[in-house]
Amino acid sequence: MILKRIIQKIIRKYFEEELLTPREIAKQRQYFIQANRVFLSLIAIAMAFIIGRLWYIQIHEYNYYCEQASKHRIRIIRLKPPRGKILDRYGRVIAGNRPRFNLCIIRQDASGHIPELLMKISKITGVPEYKLKQNLLEGEDTPIYKPIVLLSDIDWKVLAKIEARLYSMPGVTITVDSQRRYPLGSLAPHLIGYLREASSSDLKRFNDLDLGDLVGKRGVEREFQNLLAGKPGFKKIEVNAVDRFVKVLSIKPPIPGDNIYLTIDADLQRTAQDAFKGKMGAIVVLDPRNGQILAFYSSPGINLAWFSKKLTKKIVSFLYNKDTHPFMDRVVQGCYAPGSIFKIVVAAAGLQTGVITPSTIFYCPGYLRLGRRIFRCWDWRGHGKVDLYKALVQSCDVYFYHVGLLLGSDKIAEFAHYFGFGEKTDIDLSGEVKGLIPTPEWKLRRWQEKWQDGDTLNMAIGQGFVLVTPIQAARMISAVANPNGLVLKPQYIYKIKDWQGKVLDTFKPIVQWRLPVKQKFLKDIRRALEGVVEDKHGTGWRCKIKGLKICGKTGTAQVIKQAKRTRERKLEWKYRDHAWFVAYAPADNPKIAVAVLVEHGGHGGSAAAPIAKKIFQCWLKLQHPRPEIQSPMITSISNLKIAKLY
Amino acid sequence: MEEEIKFYLKKIDWLLLLFLSGILLAGFLTVKSVSIIEGNSLANKQLLWYTIGFVFIFILFFLKDYRLLRKVVWWFYAFCIILLILVMVVSHGKVHRWIHLGFISIQPSEFTKLAIILALSDFFSRRIKERYTLQDIVLVGCILAIPLWLIKKQPDLGTAVLIAIVSATIIFFARLNLKTIIIIVTSIIIAFPVFYHSMLPYQRQRLEAFLHPDKYKQQGGYHINESKIAVGTGGKWGQGFKHGIQVHLRFLPESHTDFAFATFAEEWGFWGCCLLIACYLGIFWRGLSISKEAKDRFGVFLAFGITALLFWQTFINMIMVLGWAPVVGIPLPLVSYGGSSALVTLTSIGILLNIHKCHMETSSCLLE
């Protein structure tokens, strides 16, 4: 009450209403009216400014702000297309797709209890928590409405456990993407190739690629990456201010990759791979009529299934083994001395140039003396009188020493090129090597030494500096087998179909050139090659099959010089000879040609021929229940487009 | 009875009510649209506040004479100060703006606005001078000091500045002598750095963001940027009711309170905004007319003060939304969601109506 009184006193003192005269009141009223008017006009001006500003933002800058708005509310999500399949000539899947289940976390839905979730997941899967955290951190930059992969490719057991507990773990999802599947096992691994995550150079090479996508790293997967990959689709989504998904605006579905049918015959391929178990080397099976590759294997092979997961240390150390080089594709990258299979070339050269005839006879005492040096035949007992047939059947070295001396190194080199040695076969695989056909100039350049007759002798029996690849050997024998002597490009694409089954491309044989050897001479050689297998003295008798006439030629390529040689058994494995065998069948109407190389296998007849035999047996077996599928063949040679003419 | 009703109906300022209902409709539509994302009860609550506000209008209209308010002005003033102190004590956390009373929460600073206008009107009608001197301004400063300090302490710098601006408008309206004007202006200029230093970090950041919008796009500038985009996407005719993209995807912060005008602009476009602004202009016009014709000094000052308060709130809020002012927590009267604000604004409208009614009574008396 006292307070109230004091306040009232103060109020009375300072705020007592004073009385004004009516004139004063009227004057003040006038002022207020004016002040009010001024204020109202100020208000009107202020509001006019606001309307002007509104006009500027809403009408003048309308497009700019609309663009700004859509920029931060629309996100584009890429939809990965399923990769095209790789199949064999009969449509059996070699490399297909399987779903891969990934354990993911979407931070948008898991916000707040991520550590808890990680603990739970760790308990269920047994993966340590720090690893999950690491994976989560790696995906930190992804928008929060996109899943981050914590564990990729989880197995069924874990999947079942997770699925059962999903309801209690909001934000955890299972995503599915596709992964390569090899239902027939790892067939023709070097030809098929494998997938890895795209590197920065891959991203530059292919525009449709995104980080984390799989890209073919070799073989068909690499060469046909563009076709197999398909076209990615897009999903436009709307997100809100905190990047949460709101709705889908539009979808452009992805286009699956094309399916590629290879000329490979899975049965033959399987047989070839089984035959090579425990051995190193390479095998190529061709159709001599059109150049289709029926089987293609480099041993030791690689298991393609390894590459769908992170490589373990054990696998990596196997892959990069310095002695076996599993990564090397021996078929196109392995260079080996051809050994006696080169005698086919020398024989053809001799006949064609006329230095010998089929009946020319040389005497083989088991060696040839040239100056002070002695060049031995492989059979120290000698072959006695030798003509062309006997020389090829028994693989007499002395005979070919003589022929080689008569021809000279240049002529041999020339014919070697005619048979496709020393040049790439142009098969559609990267990394193919040329091999080597030596010439005097080459020797001078490379070794600063003069070419000697001894070099010519070595060359004549496919030793010394001559190096060929298995694919070249296969093309050579299939050219010999081809009734017209056509050199065909080895090809592995049978047809390409898009995902709807429309055929985009089919196999067409490509003739590279024609052997410049008269048919009658080729016939003589073919007869001799038949003898190699069929004759009782033939070096390739181990390949003999009842009911199929096979022509072939063995080869044994020395790894070290003859002088240092001791008996085969005692020789350290890595100094043993490479074994070659090239063959085709049936003799009168060739449909299949094989080139086998066994690294350090010893004699061609004993190590390589049995492998070829298995191939022929398998092929023969397959002929009966299954009719041959239609493939383009070369029917007439009159209107051939020949790539290169000699 | 019918006579009596007719008698009262005559004395209602119908134009003012028309403009008012236009604004209320805009406010309701905006809150209704935002309630899709903020919860359905929002629009109902707003409607409830409007209803309560109308009850207040009704009461104030039927008050015999607004001069009766003079008896409670200072009690109301004291009550508001107590509330302001209470809010500091009761609420916890960093920000002390609301007193929570179960289902509602009241904002004392809103009531303080009205209290100060009432107090100043009473002051200027008790102490009548042709031109006021520095001594009077110091007295006014004493009236303002405590509530302003308390509001700034909340911290609610925006409201404090608003009250200061409104008071300044009223003071200038009361007419100062030249010397005082010069002193006031110079002291404001001198005091500005001190004022800047006393701001809290977030307030300073907002000011910085306003001055350099591109530099602070993500932090303080976010509000203004999104608000401008929301207004811009409105275009000529707007996105349509409940179709505002910026709002419904939650890009626009505070879409139903401080940035309600952006929400409205996005959904109704340029022409809708023009209509709304016209309604506001109409209210200001009516307010100032009532001030002009009020029969005593208290009425003149009260009507002018209320109009000034409404105008400054509207103006500051709009230029903030349009990116011409730093982000401050000043609502758009009657459109922004907020119980206290709606209640206070409608009460002030009720006072305006009462002043108008009394004017009609006197003029009719004079005619008789």
**Mean pLDDT, rounded, for A226-255:** 82
Q: Which residue of A has its CA nearest to B295?
A: A29
Q: Does A238 sit within 8 Å of B250, measured CB to CB?
A: no
Q: Tell whether the model's pLDDT for residue B216 goes beyond 70.
A: no
Whether the Cβ atoms of residue B226 and residue B329 lie closer than 8 Å to each other: no
- Maximum average pLDDT range among A97-111, A140-154, A589-603: A589-603
Name the residue type at position B182.
I
For residue range A23-54, what is the model confidence (pLDDT) as tens digits?
Answer: 777 888 888 889 999 999 999 999 999 999 99
Size of interface A-B (CB pairs under 8 A): 129
Lowest mean pLDDT among A430-439, A562-571, B235-244: A562-571
Lowest mean pLDDT among A242-251, A382-391, A551-560, B321-330: A242-251
Closest to A32 (Cβ–Cβ): which among B226, B235, B300? Answer: B300
Q: Strand, coil or helix: what is A266?
A: helix
Residue that has been written with the tokens 């709606």 in this structure: B342
pLDDT (average), residues A507-531: 89
**Cβ atoms within 10 Å of A441's Cβ, excluding its own:** 10
Specify the higher pLDDT residue, A461 or A564.
A461
Residues 181-200 of B with CB under 8 A from A: none
The reported pLDDT for the residue numbered B365 is 41
Contact across the interface for B128 and A20, Cβ inside 8 Å: yes
Q: Write out pLDDT tens, residues B277-300.
A: 999 999 999 999 999 888 788 889
SS3 assignment, position A96:
strand
Please determine, for residue A11, whether its predicted confidence score (pLDDT) is greater than 70: no
More confident residue, A393 or A29: A393
Average pLDDT for B347-360:
90
DSSP code, position A57: I
In a 13 Å sphere around the CA of A542, the CA atoms on its Cβ side amount to 16
> Which positions in chain A touch B281 (Cβ < 8 Å)?
43-44, 47
Rounded (5°) CA angle A490-A495-A496 = 125
Instruction: Give B226's pLDDT tier (boundaries 50, 70, 90).
Output: confident
- Name which of A341-350, A572-581, B155-164, B261-270 the model is least confident about: A572-581
Are B235 and B252 contacting, i.e. CB atoms less than 8 angstroms apart?
Answer: no
Q: Which of A50, A60, A246 best tests the B interface by mutation, with the highest count of B CBs <10 A?
A: A50
Residue of A470 and A454 predicted with greater confidence: A470
CB pair distance less than 8 Å for B250 and A47: no
CA distance A236 to chain B (A): 16
- The answer to whether the CB atoms of A33 and B292 lie below 8 A apart is yes
Residue A103 has pLDDT above 90, yes or no: no
Residue A15 has pLDDT above 60, yes or no: no
> Which ipTM did the prediction report?
0.91
Backbone torsion region of residue A182, taken as left when φ is above 0, otherwise alpha when ψ lies between -120 and 50, otherwise beta: beta
Q: Say if B42 is an interface residue toward chain A (CB within 8 Å).
A: no
pLDDT digits (tens, 9 = 90+) for A155-202: 888 888 888 887 788 788 888 878 888 988 888 899 999 888 877 787
- Tell me how far apart the alpha carbons of residues A116 and B195 are, in angstroms, rounded to a whole number: 47
Rounded average pLDDT over B326-348: 89
Q: Residue A636's pLDDT is what?
A: 59
pLDDT for the residue B358:
85
CA–CA min distance A331, chain B (Å): 60
Q: For the segment A49-85, what is each residue's pLDDT rounded down to a tens digit?
A: 999 999 999 999 899 988 888 877 787 888 888 889 9
Per-residue pLDDT for B242 more than 90? Answer: no
d(CA B268, CA A184): 66
Specify the range with the lowest mean pLDDT, choosing from A134-148, A273-287, B229-243: A134-148
Checking if the pLDDT of A637 tops 60, the result is: no
Amino acid at B354: N
Closest-CA distance, B2 to chain A, in angstroms, reads 36
Q: What is the pLDDT of residue B304?
A: 94
State residue A209's pLDDT score. 75
Confidence of residue A536 (pLDDT cuts 50, 70, 90): confident
pLDDT at A468: 93
- Tell me what the pLDDT averaged over chain A comes to: 85
The yes-or-no answer on residue A340 being catalytic is: yes
Q: How far apart are CA B167 and CA B113, in angstroms?
A: 10
Q: Which residue has the higher pLDDT, A18 or A264?
A: A264
Task: Measure in Å the smallest separation between the Cα of A57 and chain B Cα atoms.
Answer: 5
Identify the residue among B38, B166, B224, B246 best suited for mutation to test binding to A, counting A beta carbons within 10 A and taking the highest.
Answer: B246
Residue span of the structural domain in which B25 resides: 2-367
pLDDT tens digits, one per residue of B66-83: 888 888 899 999 999 999
- What pLDDT, on the 0 to 100 scale, is given for residue A571? 65
CB contact under 8 A, A241 and B226: yes
The confidence score (pLDDT) of residue B366 equals 39
Residue A568 scores a pLDDT above 60? no
DSSP readout, B291-314?
A: HHH-SSHHHHHHHHHHHHHHHHHH
Among the listed ranges A3-7, A432-436, A518-522, which one has the minimum average pLDDT value?
A3-7
C-alpha to C-alpha distances, A621 to A510, A545, A587, nearest whole angstrom: 29, 12, 17
Measured between CB atoms, does A50 come within 8 Å of chain B? yes
Chain-chain contact of A238 with B291 (C-beta, under 8 angstroms): no
B235–A62 C-beta distance less than 8 A: yes
Rounded average pLDDT over A537-566? 80
Structure tokens at B197: 């230093």
Please give the pLDDT value at position A642.
52
Q: What percent of chain B has pLDDT over 70?
A: 95
Asked if A575 is an interface residue toward chain B (Cβ–Cβ < 8 A), one would say no
Per-residue confidence (pLDDT) for residue A118, from 0 to 100: 85
pLDDT of B234 higher than 50: yes
pLDDT, mean over chain B: 86
Could you tell me what percent of chain A has a pLDDT over 70?
A: 92
Assess whether pLDDT exceeds 50 at residue B40: yes
Structural domains for chain A: 69-92+184-261 (3.90.1310.10), 99-180 (3.30.70), 266-316+329-623 (3.40.710.10)
Of A231, A227, A159, A220, nearest to A193 (Cα)?
A220
**Active-site choice (A298, A340, A395, A409):** A340
The mean pLDDT value for A597-612 works out to: 88
How, if at all, do strands A373-376 and A367-370 pair? antiparallel
Q: What is the pLDDT of residue A44?
A: 95
What domain count does chain B have?
Answer: 1
Residue recorded with tokens 């047809």: A495
> Residue range A325-340: average pLDDT?
89
| Interface touch B277/A14, C-beta < 8 Å | no
Query: Does the beta-carbon distance from B249 to A55 stay under 8 Å?
Result: no
Q: Nearest-CA neighbor of A344 among A551, A600, A535, A603? A: A551
Contacts of B127 in chain A (CB under 8 A): 14-15, 18
Beta strand pairing call for A245-252 and A486-488: unpaired
Interface touch A69/B231, C-beta < 8 Å: no
Tell me which residues of chain A, numbers 6 to 35, contact chain B at a CB-CB cutoff of 8 Å: 7, 11, 14-18, 20, 24, 28, 31-33, 35
- Residues of chain B neighbouring A34 (CB-CB closer than 8 A): none
Which CA distances in Å does B130 have to A147, A486, B27, B116, B298? Answer: 74, 122, 41, 22, 15
